[in-house]
Amino acid sequence: MRSDRAQGPQHRGSPAEGAAGAGPAGAAAGLGARRRGQGRERLLRNLARTLEPRAPGAAASILEGLDEILTVVRLGLPRELRRSLACINIVENILGSVRRVCRNVKRWRNASMALRWTAAAMLEAAKGFRRLKAKRHLPALRAALIAHRAKAATKAQIAQQPRAA
């Protein structure tokens, strides 16, 4: 048995491990295992704190995308769709195409030119897009977004009403 196994915040049972098991991967998997609204933010913050010494960039990315991650989870979408929406490969693919197409432009004349080149790069990237694996769950996403919008509108109306003394 190794003596360094139970040292520091990485020992078995740490909050960073989540419900699913070992290390950061277990913490990410633990997000789906927890009931809606129960400690997900705390779990992600603990994960970022654990990753900070070894991978400060990854920790910063987790903290930066915290609201987006939790929004996808809070909508109550099917697991397959949550997984597809939480992945940033789609965005990275588009950004890579924009860099590749625009790298030869030496002099940007105005914002209109930048928009045209960016649009051309996105059209180029679209040629390589594949269908979303969870495409059959898109109606559930639409329904969840409509419900979320209605809930937010109701909260805004309640907040605007004058309070009785």
pLDDT at 10: 41
Distance CA 7, CA 14 (A): 11
Distance CA 36, CA 153 (A): 22
On whether the CB atoms of residues 91 and 99 are closer than 8 A, the answer is no
Distance CA 50, CA 72 (A): 23
Residue 10 carries which DSSP code? G
Distance CA 2, CA 42 (A): 30
Distance CA 46, CA 27 (A): 9
Per-residue pLDDT of the chain (165 residues; tens, 9 = 90+): 444 444 434 433 333 334 444 455 555 555 554 455 558 888 989 999 999 999 998 888 888 888 877 888 888 888 888 888 877 777 888 889 999 999 989 999 999 999 999 999 999 988 888 888 888 998 998 999 999 889 888 888 888 877 665
pTM of the model: 0.49
pLDDT at 3: 43
Q: How many helices (H) and strands (E) does the chain have?
A: 8, 0
- Short-list 163, 90, 77, 152, CA closest to 125: 90
